[in-house]
Amino acid sequence: MDKYKKYLGIILFVAIVAGVAYYSIAMQVMPRLDKISDVQESVDEKQRDLDKLRSKKITVQNKLKQFQENAANLQKKIYSPTISDADSDTLFFTLYNDLIDMVHSNSVRIKDIKYTHNPAEDLFVKHGGSKYFVCNINLSLVSNYVQLGHLIEDIYQYPYYIKIGSVKIKPYNKDKSVLLTEMSVQLYSYTEPQGTEE
Amino acid sequence: MAFFNKKTVVGISINPELGIEVAQVDFATRTVLKYGVAPLAYDHNRREIADMDAFRGAVIDLLQGMGIPKGTPVSLNVPTITFKVGDYPPQLPQRELMTAFEEELIKHPVFQDREPLIDAVALTDATMQTRKFAFTALQKTDIIEMAVYFKEQGYPVVAIDTGVNSTLNALIYNNGVSISSDRPWIMLQVTSAYARIIAMQGNVYSECFEERIRIGAVLGDEENYSTVVAAVKPYLTRLPFDRLLVVSKTDIISAETLVQHLGFTGQISCIEANSYAKGSFLPVAQGVDEEAARLMSLDVIGAAIKQDFAPYSAAPFNLFNSGLGSIYEDEQPLRFGTFVFTLENCIVGAIIFSLIIVAIAAAVCLPKEQELKTLNDKVKKIEEETAQINAYLKEYNWVSSNQFNEADEVRAGLTHNKNVYSYYTIVGTEIPKKLWLTGLDLGKYVTIKGQADNIESVYSFFRNVNDYNSSAGLSLKKLSMASNSKLTELNDNGEFDANSVLDSMEADFYEFVITNQQEEVKSNGGLPADIVDIGL
């Protein structure tokens, strides 16, 4: 055995160095490199997704800007409340009262009135969601031609956007100068005060 | 940590004057840690230990008595049999060189019937015309026997040297000689049997001569000194030297007295390695017998310091060499270049390599850790920004849809309002005489229903309305005579009278429908779905 004793040192040397090398490389360096590779891959993937989202955001921002520019060129604006968190009744009565005032001021008589909040088929409700408050009002009116004409003109001239959905007119059988009118109008309002959009 | 402690070599010297000497020297402090001596008979004629069995017993007893643990490496010093310096062809191969040495040794009486164990040291390099070598030799069988014995007893031999070189090493080690590389000097070593004149150039052997002398206490001092002077004086007269160092290793000759007999003046030094010594050559540690140490030879000091002194020696002889065959080979650790794979060296090397590997791993890992942290930060930022953008896109989901544009919708609505207002106004102002309306629908489509007493009025009205906006697609969908009566029924023969039919209709006006609605509903008499015939 003594003749092999000289190899003890070199065996010990190799064992220690190999052990340390294994621990250092296989258990310390490689896991870190693997982890970095995984994280880098994840970063690349997330970065690609983020780039797509950024592109979408830019598209949205451009559209918003376009909307704002378009809105700025509009003859009329959608009514915007002056305070935040205005409830739907407040928004409704502001426009509704103006409409009723216009009807009364033109001596048009209201035979019947019905209204619906945020009708699902309306595009503002469908696409704008909580951004808008919409009220669909169906009026049954009695008037003569001139009175109705003034009412339509007043609505047309109203400083905020009100859409005249339809007007169906029939003369009254017993007096052709009396018109029976079914008028549908849509009142629009923002739910929050409108500032500058991002 | 004792594992890493370097074992102190023990020097063992066979001294013809004293016997067996054993010493351990702290090389750094030049202190003798342990020293012991035991008597041993030496055969001056055969130049060997007289009784090898007695040597075996004495040396082990001495080692154990001094507390030298087993495993301690042994450096052995043996009395010089021959020590020669000569010039040889510079390119002479090793094998032929050894043959040349053997040819010289064969002349020596000891090696005429004994195989020599030779060790040679090149004193000059191979670029000169001749190359100077110093070589010495011992009886190979004796050395093998001693080496095997020491190993069996647990004291491995690591070095073997002879008295000439051990003495020089001890002197140089303890600054006993002042060496100037370019100046010649002579060391004169005197034993009870030989006088050696060793010419030196600095610390390098230049020449070596040996003279057999016959001296003894019974002969008297006068004769003894005369014998020595007669033996060495011819050499001292012939050889050039600046300084003479006289070393006496025998109690018969005092170095100082010998110098007086030589009659030289100049730089002369004396070393009494004998009973004339006034003190020990090196300081001794506590516990060492000072009287015994006073007689301590230079040879045993040279043996004790041999391993540590080797790097400083110009002639690092070691007869424990490959000439001993497997005894030597088995004891030699593996080598790689200049690196010797001893257990201690391997552990130190492994630690150094491990530290290097760890340092490299750390050098790789630390930046990678930073890189990983940077990547994680980047992931966090990306995720935060992604969450922000997702929230933004969710908030403005309606914008991302291509189906809705607020401004366009408002603009369309306002256009629609204008149409309603305009058609209402036009209908009211453009009605010709003898035409009246029975229904007006202004919505998604425009539908105007009315009656007239002549066709011209209808066409005039249609033209005026259509002129307002010819692109609205208004058309005259219906124009017919109004009828409130039933048609005359046909007779059984299927015959009818046209005039009678027209009269029965009692028609005196026309009905018309103007609309831009395209759908037709058959159940409504060909009118659009939302057009109701009001029957006026």
How many Cβ atoms are within 10 Å of B519's Cβ, its own excluded? Answer: 9
In A, minimum Cα distance to B393 occurs at A57
Residue A62 has pLDDT above 80, yes or no: yes
**Are residues B345 and A9, on separate chains, in Cβ contact within 8 Å?**
yes
- Ordered by start, the domain boundaries in chain A are 1-73, 88-190
Contacts of B100 (CB under 8 A, 6+ apart): B88, B92
| Virtual torsion, Cα B35, B41, B46, B47, nearest 10 deg | 10
Contacts of A156 in chain B (CB under 8 A): 417-418, 420-421
**Are residues A24 and B376, on separate chains, in Cβ contact within 8 Å?**
no
Which amino acid is located at A69 in the chain?
A: E
The pLDDT, as a whole number, for residue B76 is 96
Q: Give the integer Cα–Cα distance in Å for B232 and B217.
A: 20
* Maximum alpha-carbon separation in chain A: 137
Give the minimum alpha-carbon distance from B166 to chain A in angstroms, rounded to a whole number: 29
Give the minimum alpha-carbon distance from B366 to chain A in angstroms, rounded to a whole number: 10
Q: Give the integer Cα–Cα distance in Å for A57 and A41.
A: 24
| DSSP 8-state assignment for residue A131 | G
Q: Which of B291, B190, B171, B358 is nearest to A23 (CA)?
A: B358
* CATH class, range B183-278: alpha beta
**Are residues A123 and B409, on separate chains, in Cβ contact within 8 Å?**
yes
Structure tokens at B105: 């040794």
- Within an 8 Å CB–CB cutoff, is residue B152 touching chain A? no
Q: Give the integer Cα–Cα distance in Å for B184 and B257.
A: 24
Structure tokens at A151: 């009412």
Mean pLDDT across chain A:
87
CATH architecture label of B413-488+497-524: 2-Layer Sandwich (3.30)
Phi-psi sector, B234: left (phi>0), alpha (psi -120 to 50), beta: alpha
Q: Give the integer Cα–Cα distance in Å for B454 and B481.
A: 10
The pLDDT, as a whole number, for residue B235 is 92
Distances (CA, A) of B343 to A100, A113, B62, B357: 108, 108, 28, 20
In the block, tokens 């997704």 appear at A49
- H or E segment at A168? strand A162-171
The pLDDT, as a whole number, for residue B521 is 41
Give the minimum alpha-carbon distance from B61 to chain A in angstroms, rounded to a whole number: 25
Phi-psi sector, B312: left (phi>0), alpha (psi -120 to 50), beta: alpha
**Crossing angle for the helix pair B406-429 and B455-468, nearest 10 degrees?**
150
Q: B201-229 b/e with 16+ CB inside 10 Å = b?
A: bebbbbbbbbbebebeeeeeeeebbebbe
Contacts of B408 in chain A (CB under 8 A): 70
**Are residues A16 and B375, on separate chains, in Cβ contact within 8 Å?**
no
In B, minimum Cα distance to A150 occurs at B421
**Are residues B424 and A129, on separate chains, in Cβ contact within 8 Å?**
no
Residue A184 has pLDDT above 50, yes or no: yes
The verdict on pTM exceeding 0.80 is no
Contacts of B454 (CB under 8 A, 6+ apart): B434, B510
Structure tokens at B498: 């046209």
Contacts of B407 in chain A (CB under 8 A): 67, 70-71, 73-74
**Are residues A75 and B414, on separate chains, in Cβ contact within 8 Å?**
yes
Domain A88-190 falls under CATH 3.30.70.60: yes
Distances (CA, A) of A139 to A112, A121, B195, B327, B423: 6, 19, 148, 126, 20
- Within an 8 Å CB–CB cutoff, is residue A75 touching chain B? yes
Which amino acid is located at B219 in the chain?
A: L
Q: Give the integer Cα–Cα distance in Å for A71 and A74.
A: 5
Which of B4, B382, B389, B406 should one mutate to test binding to chain A, selecting the residue with the greatest count of A CBs within 10 A? B406
**Are residues B358 and A145, on separate chains, in Cβ contact within 8 Å?**
no
Q: Indicate if the alpha-carbon torsion angle B82, B85, B88, B92 is positive or negative.
A: positive
- Ordered by start, the domain boundaries in chain B are 183-278, 413-488+497-524
In the block, tokens 């230079």 appear at B298
- DSSP line for B297-366: -HHHHHHHHHHHHGGG-SS---SSSGGGTHHHHHHSPPEETTEE--HHHHHHHHHHHHHHHHHHHHHHHH
The pLDDT, as a whole number, for residue B366 is 87
The pLDDT, as a whole number, for residue B386 is 94
The pLDDT, as a whole number, for residue B190 is 94
- Show which of residues 199-238 on chain B sit within 8 Å of chain A, judged by CB atoms: none
Contacts of B321 (CB under 8 A, 6+ apart): B117, B119, B328
Q: Give the integer Cα–Cα distance in Å for B163 and B302.
A: 8
- Within an 8 Å CB–CB cutoff, is residue A3 touching chain B? yes
Contacts of B411 in chain A (CB under 8 A): 70, 74
- Show which of residues 367-386 on chain B sit within 8 Å of chain A, judged by CB atoms: 368-369, 371-372, 375-376, 378-379, 382-383, 385-386
Task: Tell me how many residue pairs between chain A and chain B have CB atoms under 8 A apart.
Answer: 208
Contact criterion met (CB below 8 Å) for A163 and A146: no
Give the minimum alpha-carbon distance from B407 to chain A in angstroms, rounded to a whole number: 5
In B, minimum Cα distance to A179 occurs at B439
Give the minimum alpha-carbon distance from A82 to chain B in angstroms, rounded to a whole number: 20
The pLDDT, as a whole number, for residue B535 is 30
- Written as tens digits, the pLDDT of chain B (536 aa) is 444 456 789 999 999 989 999 999 999 999 999 999 999 999 988 889 999 999 999 999 999 999 999 989 999 999 999 999 999 988 888 889 999 999 999 999 999 989 999 999 998 776 678 889 999 999 999 999 999 999 999 999 999 999 999 999 999 998 767 666 678 899 999 998 899 999 998 888 999 999 999 998 888 888 999 999 999 999 999 988 888 999 999 999 999 999 999 888 778 889 999 999 998 899 999 989 988 899 999 999 999 999 999 988 888 899 998 888 888 888 777 878 887 888 888 888 889 999 999 999 988 888 888 888 999 999 999 999 999 999 988 888 777 665 677 888 888 899 899 989 989 988 888 788 888 888 999 988 899 999 888 888 888 889 888 888 888 888 888 888 876 544 445 555 555 555 555 555 555 788 899 998 875 444 444 444 444 333 32
Which amino acid is located at B362 in the chain?
A: A
Q: Give the integer Cα–Cα distance in Å for A171 and B59.
A: 149
In the block, tokens 């007695």 appear at B54
- DSSP line for B413-442: HHHHHHHHHHHHHHHHHSPPTTEEEEEEEE
Q: Give the integer Cα–Cα distance in Å for B14 and B56.
A: 12
In B, minimum Cα distance to A129 occurs at B398
Residue A69 has pLDDT above 60, yes or no: yes
Nearest CB to B330; choose among A2, A176, A198: A2
The interface predicted TM-score of the complex, written ipTM, equals: 0.74
- Within an 8 Å CB–CB cutoff, is residue B352 touching chain A? no
Nearest CB to A164; choose among B353, B399, B416: B416
